[in-house]
Each structure stands twice: as C-alpha cells, then as structure tokens.
Chain A
Amino acid sequence: MKALEGLKVVEAAAYAAGPVVGKHLVDQGATVVHIESRTRPDGFRTHYPPYKDNIHGLNRSGLFALCNSEKLGVTLNLKKGPGALALAKRIVSWADVMVENFSPGTIGRLGLGYEALKEVNPRLIMLSSSNLGQSGPHAHHPGFGSQLSSLAGFTNLTGYRDGSPQILYGPYIDYIAVGYGVVAVLAALEYREATGRGQHIDLAQYETGLQYLAPLLLDYTVNGNTATRDGNRHPEAAPHGAFPCAGDDNWCVLSVASDEQWRALCHTMDRPEWGGRDEYATAERRRKRADELETRIGEWTRQFEARELVEKLQAAGVPAGMINGMEQIYDDPQLVHRGQWTRMDHAEIGTMSYQRAPFTLSESDSGPDRPDPLLGEHNEYFYRELLGLSDEEFETFTSEGVID
C-alpha cells in the first residue's frame, strides 16, 4: 500500500512549481487531477522542448511527462463563465488539497480565491506557489524561475571570482520550492487531522530558496561579509575540484578535507614524497598553491578513465566521484540499483524514463505506475466516476465548452 492512498488533490497549475508538488504526492499514492484547458494547455506541452523526435505535439513533451506521471488529465476552461466556476467548485468540494501557481491575484479574479473556496470546503488545504509571494509590493511581478535564481543570489555564487556569474540549469529555485511545498501540504494535513480545519499556504519560491543560503545571510547580518563565487574551490579543503579524465570532456572530482586524505591521495598518485613536502603540509598551504597543485593532479588524472580512477581513490579513502553527464545518469549503477527510473510506454512518446522519489520506504510502495495523461484523457472517468456528474450534466458542460 502507498502512504498517501485516499488523498485527493486537484491542480490548477502548470509548468513546474505547482505540478511537481502533485508529482511527489501522486508517487506516494494520492489521486491527483491535473486541470488544463484546450484553449490553454499546460505550457510545458506547448512551449518547452524536448519533444519526442523534435516534433511538436501536445502529447509529446518530455518535460510534461516527467512532471505529471500517473495524474488524471482533465480539461476545464476556467474562463468559461458561471458554469466553469460551478464545476470548479464541485471539484474543490471533492478535493482535500488544491495546488495552484497562477500569478498572485489571478485565481481570486477567477472566483476561486481561498476565501471563496473555504465556503465550499472548509477542510480544503490550498497551496499557492508563486515567485515572490502573495503579498508585498512586488507580489504581482511575473518572473521566470531561471531568473529568480539570480535574485535569490544563487548565480552570484556560481562561476569564478573574477568572472561573470554563471547559469544554473533550468528553473533551479522552482524545485527547491517544490520540496517545501510538499512538506507544507503534509504539515497542513497533520493539522487538519488534529483540528478538522483546512487552510491556505502562501509559498514564495524566493523565500524557500533563501533557506538554502541561510549561513551566508547570517554572515552578512552578523559580520557584514558578502559571500561570492570561487569556482570549485573550498574555504577549508584542498585540493578540491574537478579534474580531466581520459577521453573527450570526461571529468572526475575529488576533495581532500584532512592531511590524512592528502597523504592517501599522494600514495594513490605514486607521489608519496609530496605527502611529506612542507609547502603542501597543511590545507592552508595547499590552498595557497592551488593552481600549481591542480595542474599537477590534472596531469595524473587524465591518464585514467573516470570510473576507474574514482574506484581507486575511494578505495584509498579519498572522497571522489565521476561527473555524470545527462547521457550517463540513466545507467548510473547506483541509481539503477535504487530503481530510480521506471520505464513505461506512453501513447505518443513511446518508452519514457519516469523519475521516482529520491527516497524509499520500508513498509510502503511508491509509483509512478502509469504514464502522464494525454490532454483531457480522463475527462469521462474523473467527471463521471469520481465526481459523480450525471450524463446530462457531463454533456451540458461539454457542449458549453466548460469541459473543452
């Protein structure tokens, strides 16, 4: 049995920040309904590659697939007047949790703000995930997660000291918010179990990101220090970085946190005499000579295949790892061992590697057990079977274009 079986979730959400919250809930057994409209499908279906075989198509998006596995896909055009509002409220009265990530204010203008919905379902837990939060002078600013990672200071910490900040792939900060969003929903569920009360959660992606940088924020508030980027270097450990391995653009990393590990590295490099050298004797001295040291280590590492070298260093007690490229992580032996990927057939994509949770539970199963839905795939099933619309109601909503 899965841990969240019986939990009913509706998503009036698109892209990553909202739907991936639902993805984690559905993986653990919740029933999650992803609402879209044919007039405005989830942007991941329409605007973001990759598409299978580079052919655009509403049901060919790898990113939509990754973020929406096992969900029920239904259509509902929220802009279709009172009929749409009435149907949306019926869905909300069915649900335990609603996830939305419209820009702040939008859901209220559609008549689906928390104050209105709690009249319909006082036990509802509503998670609103946004860029900068639901309140404050800049609440309404539309932004992309990729750029929000700069506002929150992450790109300032990426790159070289004397160079430009560098990009973190994709909307890095969105997925930080996703983890906290799931925590928030489960905490609100716990509260509801004890009190019977639902609530509204205002999750600002910006504020969740800052949690990850808390020590540096304290360094400023306490010491007035402003942290900056410094490549792969470490304030204490040395050597610490990425080194070339045999082949084209293959790399490993290693990090030396103690003098014992330094001597172990020297032995592994067949340079035991370096372990005794004064100028390398302490981490501080090694940091001062980092350029020279990194060059020398690089001359050694490039003779080996990354995997072979990592095994050698690990056996000697030196932390080391290979830099997995995107073409390697599906075959990474450790991730494969954990069953990190589940390969399932999707009607238009064909075989797709769906991602599983980053944790396993000893007593509970987890998914995903089905691929992501085609646009509107579960309209009949959800509206009739789960929500209990009569044939007549279903047909009326369909002919009015509410279910589009």
Chain B
Amino acid sequence: MTLRENGPLSPYRILDLTDELGFLCGKTLGDLGADVIKVERPGGDAARRIGPYLDGERDPEKSLYWFAFNNNKRGVTLNLEAAEGRELFMRLVEKADFILETFPPGYLEDIGLAHDVLRGVSPRLVQVSITPFGQTGPYSRYRATDIEIMAMSGCMSLTGDPGKPPLRVTFPQSYQWTGSYAAMAALVAHTQRRRTGRGEHVDVSAQACMLWGFSHAHTFWDLNRSVEKRAGSFMTGRTITGAKMRVFWPCKDGYLNFIIYGGEAGRKTNQALVEWMAEKGAAPAFLLERDWRTFNIERVTQEEIDVMEAPIAEFFTGVTKREFFEAVTGRGMLGYPVSTAQELLEDPQLAARGFWQEVEHPELDRSITYPGGFARFSEFSCGIRRRAPLIGEHNTEVYGEFGLDAGELARLENDGVI
C-alpha cells in the first residue's frame, strides 16, 4: 500500500487519549492517514454521552458527536488506574509516534506516566497535551467547558446584543478550534523530530487557540486604546457618523446576510442589487437614480441608511434563500444566505466538489452521509477512511499487534484492565 492511497501519515501510530477538547486533533491526523488508536476507559469514553444521537437514542454507541469526531480511529479500552493497565500502556507507548491527551495537568504524573517516563521508553515520542488553559500558570487547574473557554479567550465579549449578556455560539466551537490547532502543533513537533530524532512535549492551550477566533479585534485596544464590543446583528465601525448597517434580513424562508458596503466592492454589489430589484419592479426612484460611484460610506448618516434599507428589507421578504444565492453568485454581488444544515446538504457547490462522503456503518445496517476531507490534495486522498470505533472494537486486533494472545486478552478483560 502506498502513501498516495493511504495518506502521508500512514506510517505513524497515534495513541489518542483525548476527550472532546482534543477529538479533532486525532481525527484530522487520521484524515491524513495516521493510524489513530482511541484509548478509552473500560465501558467507553464519557464523551459518548454527548448528543445529538442517532434516532435520538441516548446510547453510547449512537452518539453522532462521537461519530463525527472519532472517525478514522481504531478503538481499544484500557484502565490506566490499574497497575497492569499502565504496564500495557507503556508497551503501546514504545511503538507509538504520538500521544494526544487531555487529562488535567498533573494527572499523568500522579499515576506515574509523566512525560519523562514516557520519553524514557520512547525518546522520539511527541506528546501533545491539550487543556483549557495550559499545563502551568494561574488558571491551569481551572475547570472549563466550551462557554468558559469562549468567555476567557475574549470571544464572547464580541458576540451578542449590546445591553444583553454576551453570547457564545450555541454549538461548541472552542473544542474544534483547539483540536485542529493541536493537529498543527503535532505536525510542527513532528517536522522537528524528523530532523533531530528527538521527541517533544507540546502544551496546547484552548484559551490561546480561541484568540484567532475573533481575528484582530484586540489590536484596536493595543494601538489606539479603543475597545471593540458586541454589536448584535449590525455592522458598526464603518462610518464616522456612527451609523450602523443591517447585516441580517428576514426573507421568505429564513435570513440573509447582506450589507450595504462602500468602496469598489460595495459599488458593484449595490448597483447589482438595485438592478435586480428593478427587474422585479421593486426599486424606488431614489435607489435607481443613486450614483453608487459617489456613495461615501464613511459619511453616510443613520437616517440615510434607514431610508435605503427600508425598500431593500421589503424586497428581501419576498425572496427565498435559494433565489438570493443564485442572485449573488450570478450577478457577482456580495452576501450569502444564512444556511441551515438542510441547505448545506443541498448546496450544488459542495455536491459538485464531491464534498460529502458516504460511510458504511455495518453495525447499523446502513450508511451515513458525512462531511468529507478538509482539503483536496493533488497527490493523496484526505478524508474519512473508517467510521468511529465501537467500545473496545479493536482490542483483539490492536493488542494482537503488540503481541498479546487471546488467553492474555481474556484474562485482562476479566480483571477489568481492558
């Protein structure tokens, strides 16, 4: 088998001891072919209790959250709290290239599996430790779920209506940011190891990963001591009059994202919108007569914006999201509909690129449509190679590769080690 078929990371074995904070790290490296072994506690990972679930059944083998972020992994169970479990773990470490873990700082030291101990048996080991705030420092022992990470990174201060509480994205985002940036960290360490032959201990902070989630808002403070804040569903900061522009518009079947912009991009878009409205007999004279080349967004007043936005709002209420998408792509306008999952699944662009992947789930006697690989490589395939593992599904296979026979496995299972 070749790297072209199996992916560039197929020569490497990864032990994945992460919870939801790190799932996407192993999954992403698995998209690139790595042999990722998910090590779960006996009975299965707690994260198998995260919904949504297949048919709404709260069953650890039916978590769609698990399916989505643990595909490309084989699965074994192992009790690290038992001495024999740790011995077995050290045998795995000896032949592993990476360990990914999300234990609270200090936990692995406490059970005798500190980084130095692991490096002792495998000097070239890359250990990626992923936590909300990092391995050391004043908040390193703080407990955090998605909302705490979103809060302390600064993200939430920029989301929500002024006068109401700051908001997070309802579906957790920080875990994915952390997992995918941890994959970057793993490969940086690996690149160094290729040259030096030496492993690395990588310390990934979710709070720090999330700093890129709001790009550059903090530079306004750094440079000019002005504070960017949440603005609900309006665009601010584009005018010297303080006027704000509507971003979200109700349409026939949901919402559209459209903004009256200035500059060259705005000129084209505004012109194209008015032409479209005119074709439907919905463009008032003052919009038709407007010369967009002289439209100066910086000096526009709120009153002028309100007057312009009123007929546009009226027009959009009669437009479907699909009609809007066809108009923006066909007429070269800026703007997009606010998609739901259904619209994403029906998007012709994603379909044409073969983005969706059918993955067999023989245990369910069906296949499931998944989002495919994160990028398209001209030399090798990137995407889902196997569905997420069932609890302990690969115990025999994986432990067999490490030289354990059926008798030993049965005994370990009996003793609650696996």
Q: Which of A354-381 contact B (CB under 8 A)?
A: 355, 357-364
A214 / chain B contacts, CB cutoff of 8 Å: 68-69, 370-371
Interface 1/0 per residue, A109-145 and B, CB below 8 Å: 0000010000000000000000011111111011110
Name the residue on A nearest B332 (C-beta): A142
Q: With contacts A199-B377, A359-B209 known, what are 4 further pairs, Cβ within 8 A?
A: A210-B355, A328-B154, A334-B134, A363-B198
Q: Which of A79-87, A177-185, A277-285, A386-394 contacts B (4 or more CB under 8 A)?
A: A177-185
* Distance to closest chain B CB from A167 (angstroms): 6
Do residues B215 and A175 form an inter-chain contact, with CB atoms below 8 A? Answer: yes
Name the residue on A nearest B142 (C-beta): A314
Interface core residue of A62, A251, A359 (most chain B CB under 10 Å): A359
Q: Which of B166-174, B287-295, B305-313 contacts A (4 or more CB under 8 A)?
A: B166-174
Do residues B374 and A154 form an inter-chain contact, with CB atoms below 8 A? Answer: no
Q: Which of B85-93, B217-225, B273-281, B403-411 contacts A (4 or more CB under 8 A)?
A: B217-225
* 30 residue pairs A–B, Cβ–Cβ below 8 Å: A3-B188, A4-B191, A50-B224, A132-B349, A137-B349, A164-B233, A165-B248, A168-B158, A175-B213, A180-B374, A191-B3, A191-B8, A208-B374, A213-B341, A214-B371, A223-B54, A227-B340, A231-B165, A249-B229, A251-B156, A251-B166, A324-B157, A326-B229, A329-B153, A330-B221, A334-B207, A335-B211, A340-B211, A352-B222, A364-B200
Interchain CB contact (< 8 A) of B215 among A47, A171, A323, A362: A171
A328 / chain B contacts, CB cutoff of 8 Å: 154
Do residues A323 and B157 form an inter-chain contact, with CB atoms below 8 A? Answer: yes
* Distance to closest chain B CB from A143 (angstroms): 6
Give the interface size bracket for A toward B: 35 or more
Interchain CB contact (< 8 A) of A330 among B136, B143, B157, B218: B218
Does B319 sit within 8 A of A, measured CB to CB? no
Name the residue on A nearest B136 (C-beta): A337
Do residues A215 and B148 form an inter-chain contact, with CB atoms below 8 A? Answer: no
The 6 A-B residue pairs with the shortest CB-CB distance, nearest first, are A62-B219, A321-B148, A220-B341, A337-B137, A358-B208, A214-B68
Does A162 sit within 8 A of B, measured CB to CB? no
* Distance to closest chain A CB from B124 (angstroms): 11
Interface 1/0 per residue, A171-207 and B, CB below 8 Å: 1101110111111101111110111010111111011
* Distance to closest chain B CB from A181 (angstroms): 8
Does A312 sit within 8 A of B, measured CB to CB? no
Do residues B8 and A190 form an inter-chain contact, with CB atoms below 8 A? Answer: yes
Does B380 sit within 8 A of A, measured CB to CB? yes
Q: Which of A69-77, A252-260, A395-403 contacts B (4 or more CB under 8 A)?
A: A252-260
Name the residue on B nearest A256 (C-beta): B145
Do residues B375 and A180 form an inter-chain contact, with CB atoms below 8 A? Answer: yes
Q: Which of B37-45, B72-80, B102-110, B178-186 contacts A (4 or more CB under 8 A)?
A: B178-186
Interchain CB contact (< 8 A) of B202 among A226, A318, A324, A360: A360
Q: Which of A32-40, A240-248, A267-275 contacts B (4 or more CB under 8 A)?
A: A240-248
| A207–B352 CA distance with the chains assembled, in angstroms | 13
Does B83 sit within 8 A of A, measured CB to CB? no
Do residues B227 and A211 form an inter-chain contact, with CB atoms below 8 A? Answer: no
Interchain CB contact (< 8 A) of B151 among A20, A197, A215, A253: A253
Do residues A324 and B153 form an inter-chain contact, with CB atoms below 8 A? Answer: yes
Do residues A178 and B375 form an inter-chain contact, with CB atoms below 8 A? Answer: no
Do residues B192 and A363 form an inter-chain contact, with CB atoms below 8 A? Answer: yes
Do residues B205 and A156 form an inter-chain contact, with CB atoms below 8 A? Answer: no
Do residues B338 and A155 form an inter-chain contact, with CB atoms below 8 A? Answer: yes
| A256–B213 CA distance with the chains assembled, in angstroms | 25
Interface core residue of B176, B247, B336 (most chain A CB under 10 Å): B336
Q: Which of B108-156 contact A (CB under 8 A)?
A: 115, 133-134, 136-145, 147-156
* Distance to closest chain B CB from A196 (angstroms): 11
* Distance to closest chain A CB from B319 (angstroms): 15
Do residues A223 and B340 form an inter-chain contact, with CB atoms below 8 A? Answer: no
* Distance to closest chain B CB from A48 (angstroms): 8
A236 / chain B contacts, CB cutoff of 8 Å: 51
Which residues of B are at the interface with A, using a C-beta cutoff of 8 A?
3, 7-9, 11, 24, 28, 32, 51-52, 54-56, 64-65, 67-69, 115, 133-134, 136-145, 147-161, 165-171, 173, 176-177, 180-185, 187-192, 194, 196, 198-205, 207-209, 211-229, 231-235, 237, 247-248, 250, 254-255, 257, 259, 263, 265, 325, 328-329, 332, 334-342, 344-345, 348-350, 352-353, 355, 368-372, 374-380, 382
Do residues B336 and A148 form an inter-chain contact, with CB atoms below 8 A? Answer: yes
A203 / chain B contacts, CB cutoff of 8 Å: 374-376
Do residues A218 and B159 form an inter-chain contact, with CB atoms below 8 A? Answer: no
| A159–B257 CA distance with the chains assembled, in angstroms | 14
Does A158 sit within 8 A of B, measured CB to CB? yes
| A258–B270 CA distance with the chains assembled, in angstroms | 52
Interchain CB contact (< 8 A) of A323 among B69, B136, B151: B151
| A317–B136 CA distance with the chains assembled, in angstroms | 19
Do residues A233 and B170 form an inter-chain contact, with CB atoms below 8 A? Answer: yes
Do residues B138 and A337 form an inter-chain contact, with CB atoms below 8 A? Answer: yes
A360 / chain B contacts, CB cutoff of 8 Å: 134, 202-203
Known: A187-B8, A202-B376. A182 touches B184 (CB 8 A): yes
Do residues A241 and B147 form an inter-chain contact, with CB atoms below 8 A? Answer: yes
B247 / chain A contacts, CB cutoff of 8 Å: 167
Do residues B376 and A153 form an inter-chain contact, with CB atoms below 8 A? Answer: no
Does A106 sit within 8 A of B, measured CB to CB? no
Does A107 sit within 8 A of B, measured CB to CB? no
B169 / chain A contacts, CB cutoff of 8 Å: 154, 157-158, 168
* Distance to closest chain B CB from A24 (angstroms): 7
Known: A52-B223, A242-B156. A358 touches B341 (CB 8 A): no
Does A41 sit within 8 A of B, measured CB to CB? no
| A319–B198 CA distance with the chains assembled, in angstroms | 37
Known: A136-B352, A190-B187. A358 touches B219 (CB 8 A): no
| A57–B91 CA distance with the chains assembled, in angstroms | 60
* Distance to closest chain B CB from A276 (angstroms): 24
Does A108 sit within 8 A of B, measured CB to CB? no
Known: A3-B188, A3-B189, A62-B222. A334 touches B183 (CB 8 A): no
Does A150 sit within 8 A of B, measured CB to CB? yes
Interchain CB contact (< 8 A) of B339 among A136, A153, A310, A324: A153
| A241–B166 CA distance with the chains assembled, in angstroms | 9
Does A217 sit within 8 A of B, measured CB to CB? yes
A174 / chain B contacts, CB cutoff of 8 Å: 215
Interchain CB contact (< 8 A) of B32 among A187, A257, A326: A187
Do residues A62 and B220 form an inter-chain contact, with CB atoms below 8 A? Answer: yes
Known: A49-B237, A229-B170. A194 touches B3 (CB 8 A): yes
Do residues B166 and A204 form an inter-chain contact, with CB atoms below 8 A? Answer: no
* Distance to closest chain A CB from B250 (angstroms): 8
